[in-house]
Structure 1
Amino acid sequence: MILLLGGTSETGTIAEALADAGYSVLVSNCTDVSLDVGGGPAISLRTGALDLSGMLALTDDRGVTAIVDATHPYAVEVTQTARKVCEYSHLPYFRFERPGLSYDGDDIYLARTHADAAERTCSFDKPILLTIGAGNLEPYVDLAREKNLPLFARVLDFDKSLEKCDSLGMGKEFVIAARGPFTVEDNRDLIRKLDIGVLVTKDSGKEGGVGEKLEAARMENCRVVVIKRPVEIGTETFQTVEILVEAIKKDIDK
Protein backbone atom coordinates (compact mmCIF):
# COMPACT_ATOMS: atom_id res chain seq x y z
CA MET A 1 0.00 0.00 0.00
CA ILE A 2 1.33 3.41 -1.01
CA LEU A 3 0.11 6.46 0.87
CA LEU A 4 -0.33 9.32 -1.59
CA LEU A 5 -0.65 12.71 0.07
CA GLY A 6 -2.67 14.68 -2.45
CA GLY A 7 -4.60 17.89 -2.82
CA THR A 8 -3.29 19.15 -6.16
CA SER A 9 -4.62 18.57 -9.67
CA GLU A 10 -1.93 15.96 -10.38
CA THR A 11 -3.19 13.64 -7.62
CA GLY A 12 -5.48 11.55 -9.83
CA THR A 13 -2.85 11.11 -12.53
CA ILE A 14 -0.28 9.92 -9.98
CA ALA A 15 -2.76 7.56 -8.29
CA GLU A 16 -3.75 5.95 -11.58
CA ALA A 17 -0.13 5.61 -12.69
CA LEU A 18 0.74 3.86 -9.42
CA ALA A 19 -2.31 1.60 -9.71
CA ASP A 20 -1.36 0.74 -13.30
CA ALA A 21 2.10 -0.20 -12.01
CA GLY A 22 0.48 -2.73 -9.69
CA TYR A 23 0.33 -0.86 -6.39
CA SER A 24 -2.59 -0.30 -4.04
CA VAL A 25 -2.94 3.41 -3.36
CA LEU A 26 -4.51 5.24 -0.44
CA VAL A 27 -5.01 8.90 -1.31
CA SER A 28 -5.11 11.25 1.67
CA ASN A 29 -6.57 14.73 1.24
CA CYS A 30 -6.48 17.26 4.08
CA THR A 31 -9.80 18.84 3.20
CA ASP A 32 -13.12 17.74 1.74
CA VAL A 33 -12.46 19.71 -1.45
CA SER A 34 -13.65 17.66 -4.41
CA LEU A 35 -10.56 15.88 -5.72
CA ASP A 36 -10.10 13.64 -8.74
CA VAL A 37 -8.24 10.61 -7.43
CA GLY A 38 -8.64 8.44 -10.49
CA GLY A 39 -10.64 5.24 -10.67
CA GLY A 40 -10.28 1.53 -10.08
CA PRO A 41 -10.41 -0.87 -7.14
CA ALA A 42 -6.75 -0.30 -6.25
CA ILE A 43 -7.36 3.36 -5.32
CA SER A 44 -9.09 4.49 -2.13
CA LEU A 45 -9.57 7.91 -0.55
CA ARG A 46 -9.57 9.32 2.96
CA THR A 47 -10.05 12.95 3.99
CA GLY A 48 -9.02 14.98 6.99
CA ALA A 49 -5.83 16.53 8.34
CA LEU A 50 -3.19 14.24 9.84
CA ASP A 51 -0.78 15.22 12.58
CA LEU A 52 2.34 13.18 13.30
CA SER A 53 0.63 10.61 15.53
CA GLY A 54 -2.29 10.31 13.12
CA MET A 55 -0.09 9.69 10.11
CA LEU A 56 2.04 7.21 12.03
CA ALA A 57 -1.08 5.30 13.06
CA LEU A 58 -2.45 5.36 9.53
CA THR A 59 0.73 4.00 7.98
CA ASP A 60 0.86 1.24 10.58
CA ASP A 61 -2.82 0.30 10.35
CA ARG A 62 -2.87 0.21 6.55
CA GLY A 63 0.50 -1.46 6.06
CA VAL A 64 1.93 1.46 4.11
CA THR A 65 5.24 0.66 2.39
CA ALA A 66 6.02 4.12 0.98
CA ILE A 67 4.77 7.70 1.10
CA VAL A 68 4.39 9.85 -1.99
CA ASP A 69 4.05 13.53 -1.13
CA ALA A 70 2.17 15.34 -3.89
CA THR A 71 0.85 18.15 -1.72
CA HIS A 72 0.94 21.81 -2.69
CA PRO A 73 4.46 23.30 -2.82
CA TYR A 74 3.54 25.54 0.12
CA ALA A 75 2.05 22.81 2.36
CA VAL A 76 5.18 22.85 4.49
CA GLU A 77 3.70 21.32 7.64
CA VAL A 78 2.31 18.28 5.84
CA THR A 79 5.61 17.70 4.07
CA GLN A 80 7.56 17.95 7.32
CA THR A 81 5.17 15.50 8.98
CA ALA A 82 5.48 13.02 6.12
CA ARG A 83 9.26 13.14 6.23
CA LYS A 84 9.27 12.53 9.99
CA VAL A 85 6.92 9.56 9.60
CA CYS A 86 9.19 8.04 6.97
CA GLU A 87 12.20 8.59 9.19
CA TYR A 88 10.55 7.05 12.26
CA SER A 89 9.02 4.12 10.37
CA HIS A 90 11.91 3.55 7.94
CA LEU A 91 9.71 4.11 4.90
CA PRO A 92 10.87 5.52 1.56
CA TYR A 93 9.71 9.08 0.90
CA PHE A 94 9.07 10.45 -2.59
CA ARG A 95 8.32 14.10 -3.30
CA PHE A 96 6.40 15.11 -6.43
CA GLU A 97 6.44 18.83 -7.11
CA ARG A 98 4.90 20.54 -10.11
CA PRO A 99 7.41 22.66 -12.04
CA GLY A 100 7.47 26.36 -11.30
CA LEU A 101 7.47 29.10 -13.90
CA SER A 102 10.18 31.49 -15.04
CA TYR A 103 9.62 35.04 -13.93
CA ASP A 104 11.02 38.02 -15.75
CA GLY A 105 9.79 41.49 -16.48
CA ASP A 106 10.05 44.90 -14.91
CA ASP A 107 6.69 44.56 -13.15
CA ILE A 108 7.28 41.15 -11.52
CA TYR A 109 8.86 41.03 -8.07
CA LEU A 110 9.93 37.92 -6.14
CA ALA A 111 9.70 37.64 -2.36
CA ARG A 112 10.99 34.92 -0.06
CA THR A 113 8.39 35.29 2.70
CA HIS A 114 4.90 36.69 3.10
CA ALA A 115 6.27 39.43 5.35
CA ASP A 116 8.67 40.51 2.60
CA ALA A 117 5.91 40.25 0.01
CA ALA A 118 3.59 42.41 2.09
CA GLU A 119 6.26 45.11 2.40
CA ARG A 120 6.90 45.09 -1.34
CA THR A 121 3.20 44.95 -2.22
CA CYS A 122 2.24 47.90 -0.05
CA SER A 123 5.23 49.97 -1.17
CA PHE A 124 3.49 50.72 -4.48
CA ASP A 125 0.55 52.49 -2.80
CA LYS A 126 -1.91 50.82 -5.18
CA PRO A 127 -5.04 48.69 -4.63
CA ILE A 128 -4.05 45.09 -3.92
CA LEU A 129 -5.46 41.72 -5.00
CA LEU A 130 -4.30 38.69 -3.00
CA THR A 131 -4.62 35.30 -4.70
CA ILE A 132 -2.68 33.32 -2.09
CA GLY A 133 -5.48 31.58 -0.22
CA ALA A 134 -6.67 32.48 3.26
CA GLY A 135 -3.83 31.06 5.32
CA ASN A 136 -1.35 33.93 5.20
CA LEU A 137 -3.40 37.10 4.89
CA GLU A 138 -2.37 38.79 8.15
CA PRO A 139 0.79 40.68 7.13
CA TYR A 140 -0.90 42.09 4.04
CA VAL A 141 -4.09 43.08 5.84
CA ASP A 142 -2.21 44.71 8.72
CA LEU A 143 0.14 46.74 6.52
CA ALA A 144 -2.53 47.73 3.99
CA ARG A 145 -4.76 48.91 6.84
CA GLU A 146 -1.88 50.89 8.31
CA LYS A 147 -1.28 52.58 4.95
CA ASN A 148 -5.00 52.92 4.16
CA LEU A 149 -4.72 50.87 0.96
CA PRO A 150 -7.66 48.98 -0.59
CA LEU A 151 -6.99 45.25 -0.29
CA PHE A 152 -9.03 42.43 -1.80
CA ALA A 153 -8.59 38.68 -1.35
CA ARG A 154 -9.77 35.94 -3.69
CA VAL A 155 -10.20 32.81 -1.60
CA LEU A 156 -11.91 29.44 -1.89
CA ASP A 157 -15.63 29.53 -1.21
CA PHE A 158 -15.40 27.52 2.02
CA ASP A 159 -16.61 28.50 5.45
CA LYS A 160 -13.11 28.19 6.91
CA SER A 161 -11.67 30.63 4.37
CA LEU A 162 -14.48 33.12 4.79
CA GLU A 163 -14.28 32.90 8.57
CA LYS A 164 -10.56 33.67 8.40
CA CYS A 165 -11.22 36.79 6.32
CA ASP A 166 -13.94 37.86 8.72
CA SER A 167 -11.66 37.35 11.73
CA LEU A 168 -9.20 39.79 10.17
CA GLY A 169 -11.89 42.42 9.84
CA MET A 170 -12.19 42.18 6.06
CA GLY A 171 -15.59 43.37 4.90
CA LYS A 172 -17.51 41.12 2.54
CA GLU A 173 -17.04 43.62 -0.28
CA PHE A 174 -13.29 42.96 -0.10
CA VAL A 175 -13.54 39.16 -0.28
CA ILE A 176 -14.04 37.32 -3.57
CA ALA A 177 -15.16 33.78 -2.76
CA ALA A 178 -14.60 31.66 -5.84
CA ARG A 179 -12.99 28.49 -7.09
CA GLY A 180 -10.83 28.20 -10.20
CA PRO A 181 -9.58 27.52 -12.70
CA PHE A 182 -9.61 31.17 -13.75
CA THR A 183 -8.92 32.23 -17.33
CA VAL A 184 -6.87 35.22 -18.42
CA GLU A 185 -10.11 37.08 -19.07
CA ASP A 186 -11.48 36.18 -15.63
CA ASN A 187 -8.39 37.71 -14.06
CA ARG A 188 -8.43 40.74 -16.34
CA ASP A 189 -12.06 41.43 -15.53
CA LEU A 190 -11.35 41.32 -11.81
CA ILE A 191 -8.29 43.55 -12.09
CA ARG A 192 -10.25 46.13 -14.07
CA LYS A 193 -13.35 45.94 -11.89
CA LEU A 194 -11.39 46.56 -8.69
CA ASP A 195 -8.81 48.90 -10.26
CA ILE A 196 -6.03 46.63 -8.98
CA GLY A 197 -2.47 47.91 -9.15
CA VAL A 198 -0.67 44.95 -7.53
CA LEU A 199 -1.54 41.25 -7.74
CA VAL A 200 0.04 38.80 -5.28
CA THR A 201 0.42 35.10 -6.07
CA LYS A 202 2.32 32.03 -5.01
CA ASP A 203 4.61 30.22 -7.43
CA SER A 204 2.03 27.47 -7.91
CA GLY A 205 3.12 26.56 -11.43
CA LYS A 206 1.17 26.19 -14.65
CA GLU A 207 -1.41 23.90 -13.05
CA GLY A 208 -1.99 26.48 -10.33
CA GLY A 209 -3.12 29.11 -12.82
CA VAL A 210 -0.12 31.40 -12.39
CA GLY A 211 0.40 31.83 -16.12
CA GLU A 212 -3.11 33.21 -16.53
CA LYS A 213 -2.54 35.66 -13.68
CA LEU A 214 0.75 36.88 -15.14
CA GLU A 215 -0.73 37.38 -18.59
CA ALA A 216 -3.76 39.21 -17.24
CA ALA A 217 -1.57 41.46 -15.11
CA ARG A 218 0.70 42.21 -18.07
CA MET A 219 -2.25 43.15 -20.26
CA GLU A 220 -3.67 45.42 -17.55
CA ASN A 221 -0.33 47.04 -16.60
CA CYS A 222 -0.60 45.57 -13.11
CA ARG A 223 2.43 44.75 -10.99
CA VAL A 224 2.86 41.19 -9.68
CA VAL A 225 4.51 40.01 -6.46
CA VAL A 226 5.36 36.29 -6.39
CA ILE A 227 6.08 34.45 -3.15
CA LYS A 228 8.86 32.00 -3.86
CA ARG A 229 8.53 28.36 -2.89
CA PRO A 230 9.92 27.14 0.42
CA VAL A 231 13.35 25.59 -0.01
CA GLU A 232 13.43 21.85 0.70
CA ILE A 233 16.93 20.88 1.74
CA GLY A 234 18.11 17.33 1.14
CA THR A 235 14.99 16.17 -0.69
CA GLU A 236 15.00 14.88 -4.25
CA THR A 237 11.92 16.04 -6.10
CA PHE A 238 10.26 14.53 -9.15
CA GLN A 239 8.51 16.76 -11.66
CA THR A 240 7.04 14.17 -14.00
CA VAL A 241 4.77 11.28 -13.08
CA GLU A 242 6.70 8.84 -15.27
CA ILE A 243 10.04 9.47 -13.55
CA LEU A 244 8.35 9.36 -10.14
CA VAL A 245 6.79 5.95 -10.77
CA GLU A 246 10.05 4.54 -12.13
CA ALA A 247 11.90 5.70 -9.00
CA ILE A 248 9.27 4.09 -6.77
CA LYS A 249 9.46 0.80 -8.67
CA LYS A 250 13.24 0.72 -8.38
CA ASP A 251 13.13 1.40 -4.65
CA ILE A 252 10.20 -0.77 -3.56
CA ASP A 253 10.78 -3.69 -5.92
CA LYS A 254 14.53 -3.96 -5.40
Structure 2
Amino acid sequence: MATPGIRPLVAGNWKMNGSLAMASALVGALKGRQGNVDLLVCPPFPYLAAVGAALAGSKLALGAQDCHADASGAHTGDVAAPMLADLGCSYVILGHSERRTDHGETSGMVAAKAQAALAAGLTAIICVGETEAQRNAGEELKIVEKQIVESVPSGANAGNTVIAYEPVWAIGTGKTPTAADVEAMHRHIRALLKSRVTGGAGMRILYGGSVKPSNAAELMAVAEVNGALVGGASLKAEDFWGIAEGAAKSAG
Protein backbone atom coordinates (compact mmCIF):
# COMPACT_ATOMS: atom_id res chain seq x y z
CA MET A 1 0.00 0.00 0.00
CA ALA A 2 1.01 3.66 -0.18
CA THR A 3 3.09 5.17 2.62
CA PRO A 4 1.24 4.85 5.96
CA GLY A 5 0.64 8.16 7.70
CA ILE A 6 0.98 10.34 4.61
CA ARG A 7 -2.26 11.91 3.36
CA PRO A 8 -2.45 11.68 -0.43
CA LEU A 9 -2.41 14.76 -2.65
CA VAL A 10 -4.08 14.72 -6.06
CA ALA A 11 -3.05 17.76 -8.10
CA GLY A 12 -4.63 18.78 -11.39
CA ASN A 13 -2.28 20.46 -13.85
CA TRP A 14 -4.54 22.10 -16.41
CA LYS A 15 -1.54 23.19 -18.49
CA MET A 16 -2.50 25.67 -21.26
CA ASN A 17 -6.13 24.60 -21.42
CA GLY A 18 -9.52 25.91 -20.41
CA SER A 19 -11.69 28.99 -20.39
CA LEU A 20 -13.49 30.98 -17.72
CA ALA A 21 -16.68 29.01 -18.37
CA MET A 22 -14.86 25.67 -18.20
CA ALA A 23 -13.00 26.67 -15.03
CA SER A 24 -16.21 27.69 -13.30
CA ALA A 25 -18.01 24.48 -14.28
CA LEU A 26 -15.11 22.24 -13.29
CA VAL A 27 -14.57 23.82 -9.88
CA GLY A 28 -18.32 23.83 -9.28
CA ALA A 29 -18.45 20.09 -9.92
CA LEU A 30 -15.54 19.40 -7.57
CA LYS A 31 -15.92 21.77 -4.65
CA GLY A 32 -18.58 19.77 -2.78
CA ARG A 33 -16.67 16.49 -2.93
CA GLN A 34 -15.25 15.04 0.29
CA GLY A 35 -12.65 12.35 0.72
CA ASN A 36 -9.55 11.19 2.54
CA VAL A 37 -7.32 13.07 0.12
CA ASP A 38 -6.13 16.63 -0.53
CA LEU A 39 -7.26 18.08 -3.86
CA LEU A 40 -5.40 20.79 -5.77
CA VAL A 41 -6.19 22.56 -9.05
CA CYS A 42 -3.54 24.45 -11.02
CA PRO A 43 -5.14 26.51 -13.81
CA PRO A 44 -3.30 28.78 -16.25
CA PHE A 45 -2.20 32.16 -14.86
CA PRO A 46 -5.11 34.19 -16.36
CA TYR A 47 -7.69 32.10 -14.50
CA LEU A 48 -6.08 31.94 -11.05
CA ALA A 49 -8.14 34.76 -9.55
CA ALA A 50 -11.44 33.48 -10.94
CA VAL A 51 -10.76 29.90 -9.86
CA GLY A 52 -9.63 31.08 -6.45
CA ALA A 53 -12.90 32.95 -6.00
CA ALA A 54 -14.93 29.97 -7.21
CA LEU A 55 -13.34 27.54 -4.76
CA ALA A 56 -13.57 29.87 -1.75
CA GLY A 57 -14.99 28.05 1.25
CA SER A 58 -14.20 24.62 -0.17
CA LYS A 59 -11.39 22.23 0.69
CA LEU A 60 -9.92 22.53 -2.79
CA ALA A 61 -6.48 24.17 -2.87
CA LEU A 62 -5.26 26.57 -5.56
CA GLY A 63 -1.89 26.30 -7.25
CA ALA A 64 0.06 27.76 -10.16
CA GLN A 65 2.11 26.09 -12.87
CA ASP A 66 5.35 28.09 -12.54
CA CYS A 67 6.96 31.12 -10.91
CA HIS A 68 10.05 33.27 -11.36
CA ALA A 69 13.05 33.01 -9.07
CA ASP A 70 12.96 36.75 -8.31
CA ALA A 71 10.36 38.40 -6.09
CA SER A 72 10.03 41.33 -8.51
CA GLY A 73 11.88 43.02 -11.35
CA ALA A 74 12.13 43.60 -15.08
CA HIS A 75 10.94 40.18 -16.23
CA THR A 76 8.25 40.77 -18.83
CA GLY A 77 5.67 38.01 -18.93
CA ASP A 78 6.86 36.31 -15.74
CA VAL A 79 5.05 35.92 -12.43
CA ALA A 80 6.64 36.12 -8.98
CA ALA A 81 5.94 33.72 -6.14
CA PRO A 82 4.67 36.48 -3.78
CA MET A 83 2.11 37.44 -6.45
CA LEU A 84 0.82 33.87 -6.47
CA ALA A 85 0.56 33.87 -2.70
CA ASP A 86 -1.28 37.19 -2.88
CA LEU A 87 -3.85 35.55 -5.17
CA GLY A 88 -4.45 32.76 -2.66
CA CYS A 89 -2.23 30.07 -4.15
CA SER A 90 -0.77 27.60 -1.71
CA TYR A 91 1.17 25.46 -4.21
CA VAL A 92 3.25 25.95 -7.34
CA ILE A 93 4.41 23.32 -9.84
CA LEU A 94 8.09 23.69 -10.75
CA GLY A 95 10.44 21.94 -13.15
CA HIS A 96 7.78 20.13 -15.16
CA SER A 97 9.38 18.33 -18.09
CA GLU A 98 7.51 20.61 -20.50
CA ARG A 99 9.13 23.62 -18.84
CA ARG A 100 12.53 21.94 -18.87
CA THR A 101 12.14 21.08 -22.56
CA ASP A 102 10.19 24.04 -23.96
CA HIS A 103 11.96 26.74 -21.94
CA GLY A 104 15.35 25.18 -21.33
CA GLU A 105 14.96 25.14 -17.57
CA THR A 106 17.86 23.52 -15.76
CA SER A 107 17.69 21.90 -12.35
CA GLY A 108 19.61 24.88 -10.98
CA MET A 109 16.90 27.20 -12.25
CA VAL A 110 14.24 24.97 -10.71
CA ALA A 111 16.04 25.08 -7.35
CA ALA A 112 16.13 28.89 -7.47
CA LYS A 113 12.41 29.02 -8.26
CA ALA A 114 11.66 26.55 -5.48
CA GLN A 115 13.65 28.66 -3.03
CA ALA A 116 11.56 31.68 -4.03
CA ALA A 117 8.36 29.68 -3.63
CA LEU A 118 9.31 28.57 -0.12
CA ALA A 119 10.22 32.14 0.82
CA ALA A 120 6.74 33.24 -0.30
CA GLY A 121 5.08 30.57 1.84
CA LEU A 122 4.12 28.33 -1.08
CA THR A 123 4.54 24.57 -1.24
CA ALA A 124 6.77 23.65 -4.16
CA ILE A 125 5.85 20.62 -6.27
CA ILE A 126 9.18 19.76 -7.89
CA CYS A 127 8.90 17.55 -10.96
CA VAL A 128 11.49 14.97 -12.00
CA GLY A 129 11.53 12.21 -14.58
CA GLU A 130 13.49 10.44 -17.28
CA THR A 131 13.04 10.27 -21.05
CA GLU A 132 12.32 7.03 -22.87
CA ALA A 133 15.88 6.92 -24.19
CA GLN A 134 17.26 7.30 -20.68
CA ARG A 135 15.06 4.49 -19.38
CA ASN A 136 15.97 2.23 -22.29
CA ALA A 137 19.62 2.86 -21.43
CA GLY A 138 19.00 1.86 -17.81
CA GLU A 139 19.81 5.36 -16.55
CA GLU A 140 16.45 6.29 -15.00
CA LEU A 141 17.48 6.05 -11.34
CA LYS A 142 20.67 8.03 -11.94
CA ILE A 143 18.87 10.73 -13.95
CA VAL A 144 16.11 11.25 -11.38
CA GLU A 145 18.56 11.24 -8.49
CA LYS A 146 20.61 13.95 -10.19
CA GLN A 147 17.49 16.04 -10.80
CA ILE A 148 16.45 15.79 -7.15
CA VAL A 149 19.91 16.59 -5.82
CA GLU A 150 20.14 19.67 -8.06
CA SER A 151 16.48 20.83 -7.95
CA VAL A 152 15.54 20.57 -4.27
CA PRO A 153 16.70 23.70 -2.39
CA SER A 154 18.04 23.99 1.13
CA GLY A 155 15.19 24.52 3.55
CA ALA A 156 12.97 22.01 1.80
CA ASN A 157 11.05 19.73 4.14
CA ALA A 158 7.95 17.56 4.27
CA GLY A 159 5.78 20.56 5.04
CA ASN A 160 6.79 22.80 2.15
CA THR A 161 7.93 20.52 -0.67
CA VAL A 162 6.41 17.72 -2.74
CA ILE A 163 8.24 15.59 -5.31
CA ALA A 164 6.35 14.56 -8.45
CA TYR A 165 7.85 11.72 -10.46
CA GLU A 166 6.65 11.82 -14.06
CA PRO A 167 8.42 9.62 -16.62
CA VAL A 168 8.59 12.00 -19.58
CA TRP A 169 7.66 9.25 -22.03
CA ALA A 170 4.38 8.60 -20.18
CA ILE A 171 3.06 12.18 -20.12
CA GLY A 172 0.03 12.44 -22.38
CA THR A 173 0.94 9.31 -24.33
CA GLY A 174 -1.31 6.76 -22.66
CA LYS A 175 1.78 4.73 -21.76
CA THR A 176 2.48 3.96 -18.12
CA PRO A 177 5.34 2.11 -16.45
CA THR A 178 4.52 -1.11 -14.63
CA ALA A 179 3.60 -0.97 -10.97
CA ALA A 180 6.95 -2.61 -10.24
CA ASP A 181 8.80 0.10 -12.16
CA VAL A 182 6.90 2.84 -10.30
CA GLU A 183 7.62 1.18 -6.96
CA ALA A 184 11.33 0.87 -7.73
CA MET A 185 11.57 4.55 -8.60
CA HIS A 186 9.51 5.78 -5.65
CA ARG A 187 11.50 3.64 -3.20
CA HIS A 188 14.69 5.08 -4.66
CA ILE A 189 13.35 8.63 -4.30
CA ARG A 190 12.24 7.94 -0.71
CA ALA A 191 15.68 6.62 0.26
CA LEU A 192 17.29 9.69 -1.30
CA LEU A 193 14.94 12.07 0.51
CA LYS A 194 15.54 10.35 3.83
CA SER A 195 19.27 10.84 3.43
CA ARG A 196 19.20 14.43 2.18
CA VAL A 197 16.05 16.26 3.33
CA THR A 198 14.74 17.12 6.78
CA GLY A 199 11.62 15.03 7.30
CA GLY A 200 12.23 13.20 4.01
CA ALA A 201 10.47 10.13 5.36
CA GLY A 202 7.22 12.10 5.40
CA MET A 203 7.57 14.10 2.18
CA ARG A 204 4.87 13.36 -0.38
CA ILE A 205 5.98 11.71 -3.62
CA LEU A 206 3.40 11.91 -6.39
CA TYR A 207 3.23 9.81 -9.53
CA GLY A 208 2.26 11.43 -12.82
CA GLY A 209 2.05 10.36 -16.43
CA SER A 210 -1.17 9.16 -18.09
CA VAL A 211 -2.96 8.68 -14.75
CA LYS A 212 -6.66 7.99 -15.27
CA PRO A 213 -9.54 6.49 -13.27
CA SER A 214 -8.96 3.04 -14.76
CA ASN A 215 -5.37 2.77 -13.48
CA ALA A 216 -5.44 5.12 -10.49
CA ALA A 217 -6.26 2.57 -7.81
CA GLU A 218 -3.39 0.28 -8.88
CA LEU A 219 -0.87 3.10 -9.17
CA MET A 220 -1.92 4.83 -5.94
CA ALA A 221 -1.60 1.54 -4.02
CA VAL A 222 2.08 1.20 -4.94
CA ALA A 223 4.51 1.58 -2.05
CA GLU A 224 5.73 5.17 -1.54
CA VAL A 225 3.19 6.67 -3.97
CA ASN A 226 1.43 9.46 -2.08
CA GLY A 227 -0.92 10.80 -4.71
CA ALA A 228 -0.88 11.93 -8.31
CA LEU A 229 -0.01 14.85 -10.56
CA VAL A 230 -2.74 14.66 -13.20
CA GLY A 231 -2.71 16.29 -16.62
CA GLY A 232 -5.48 15.70 -19.17
CA ALA A 233 -7.75 13.78 -16.81
CA SER A 234 -7.85 16.78 -14.46
CA LEU A 235 -9.92 18.69 -17.05
CA LYS A 236 -12.95 16.44 -16.48
CA ALA A 237 -14.49 16.50 -13.02
CA GLU A 238 -15.54 12.85 -12.96
CA ASP A 239 -12.16 11.62 -14.18
CA PHE A 240 -10.30 13.78 -11.68
CA TRP A 241 -12.55 12.65 -8.84
CA GLY A 242 -12.17 9.02 -9.94
CA ILE A 243 -8.41 9.37 -9.54
CA ALA A 244 -8.91 11.00 -6.15
CA GLU A 245 -11.07 8.07 -5.04
CA GLY A 246 -8.33 5.67 -6.09
CA ALA A 247 -5.83 7.61 -4.01
CA ALA A 248 -8.16 7.72 -1.02
CA LYS A 249 -8.64 3.94 -1.13
CA SER A 250 -4.88 3.41 -1.08
CA ALA A 251 -4.62 5.52 2.06
CA GLY A 252 -7.12 3.31 3.85
Higher relative contact order (CA 8 A, sep 6+): 2
TM over 0.5: no
TM-score (norm 2): 0.29
Higher strand share: 1
Higher helix share: 2
Q: Which has the larger radius of gyration?
A: 1
TM-score (norm 1): 0.29
